Chains A and B, each alone.
Chain A
Amino acid sequence: MEQNHTKRQIKVTRNSLFEQGYLDEQFTQLEDLQDDANPNFVEEIVTSFFSDSTRLIRNVETALENYPLDFCKLDDYMHQFMGSSSSIGAKKVRNECTQFQEYCKARNDDGCIRAFQRVKQEHATLKRKLEAYFQVSL
């Protein structure tokens, strides 16, 4: 009975991540790559993502402190960030990265700073939610 409850809980948690737009179909692709020979593949990939993205966030923060803003560099960081987000299906994070890139192209200082705050916010939220999900599902 308890086991079923947990399974249901896992399913509900997982589905809500998709329904609320945190994750997209790419995450399902990752799940499909997980098997007996690679039992922790999804978690490994997600861990890689947060390791890479944390580093990128630090780089962007540093770049945003140097005026005039180097929009090329910022765009480059965001391109990487967006790529990684796409690779794990992190939909909201990816969308915020795209917004940031728009402000870069427009050379909009304030826009970049605001957009980056949203990137960090979505990133932190996703991290929290995925950590909780892995805790119940593993």
Chain B
Amino acid sequence: MGLIAISETPLHVLAVDDSNLDRKLIERLLKTFSYHVTAVDSGSKALEFLGLKDVEKMEKISPFSPNPEVEVNMVITDYCMPGMTGFELLKKIKESKSLKDIPVVIMSSDNIPARINRCLEEGAEEFFLKPVRLSDVGKLKPYLSKNERKTTEEEECVSSDNSRATYNDDHNDDDDDEVEASTDEDEQIQMLRKTIEEQCVLNDNSRAMHNDDHKDDDDEVEAWSDEDEQSQRFSKDQSC
């Protein structure tokens, strides 16, 4: 009997959220779709898991090699976390040569269009408003199927190296990936923005009270930034 040539390993999602409750919830949601889930409580632990250690030093030394034992097909992260925010985690992943192809999804309990746009522009595939629902997780399939395991691990490493090489060739001279992205990517981003806007509208309708409280969040962010004490917290809308 030979070894099994085709391995149908479940897709692996790394979930990042400092809230124990939300971690349990996202894990359950993801497992409904038969994804294998690793849940961590911080951005730094996420990077560690992905094989990115000593990120500050990273930039000064030659390319590290990611943890070969671990393959992550998607990262889904909360935005508001102490220490490293989900946005900062997204940036670090997208700046990493070896990790930038991993699709990243952001979750947030705050409906702030400026925040949503910034995340999408930084390369997030989706932005989910919390509480995340099954229907949201259902939208992740297309992003995961690109990386789906269909071959043996060895073949998979080679083919993913090849596809990354192709991707890197295509985007080698980009200063801003989004500006020079392919037409397909542009379309995807436009569709995504539309979906997010629609989602915001739907959420407005279905969670009237919540959104009434938050519809002036942009104003509130500006108001806060006028205060010295709050300017640190809110001015860049990166801390929560």
Interface residues, chain A, CB within 8 Å of chain B? Answer: 24-26, 29-30, 32-33, 38, 41, 44-45, 48-49, 51-52, 71-72, 76, 79-80, 82-84, 86-89, 91, 94-95, 98, 102, 105
Interface residues, chain B, CB within 8 Å of chain A? Answer: 19-22, 24-25, 28-29, 32, 80, 109, 130-131, 133-134, 206-207, 209-210, 213, 220, 223-224, 229-230, 233, 240
Interface of chain B: mostly helix, strand, loop or mixed: helix
With a cutoff of 8 Å between Cβ atoms, the chain A residues found around residue B209 in the complex are: 91, 95
With a cutoff of 8 Å between Cβ atoms, the chain A residues found around residue B130 in the complex are: 83, 86-87
Give min CB distance, A118 to chain B, whole Å: 15
In the bound complex, what is the Cα–Cα distance between A24 and B207 (angstroms)? 9
- Which chain A residue has the least Cβ–Cβ distance from B78? A83
With a cutoff of 8 Å between Cβ atoms, the chain A residues found around residue B21 in the complex are: 45, 48-49, 52, 84, 87-88
Whether A94 contacts B210 by the Cβ 8 Å rule is yes
9 contacts between A and B (CB under 8 A): A41-B28, A44-B24, A48-B20, A52-B19, A76-B240, A79-B80, A80-B19, A91-B209, A95-B209
Known: A29-B133, A33-B134, A41-B28. 6 other contacts (CB 8 A): A25-B206, A29-B134, A79-B240, A84-B22, A89-B131, A98-B213
Residue of B131, B133, B209 with highest tally of chain A CB at under 10 A: B131
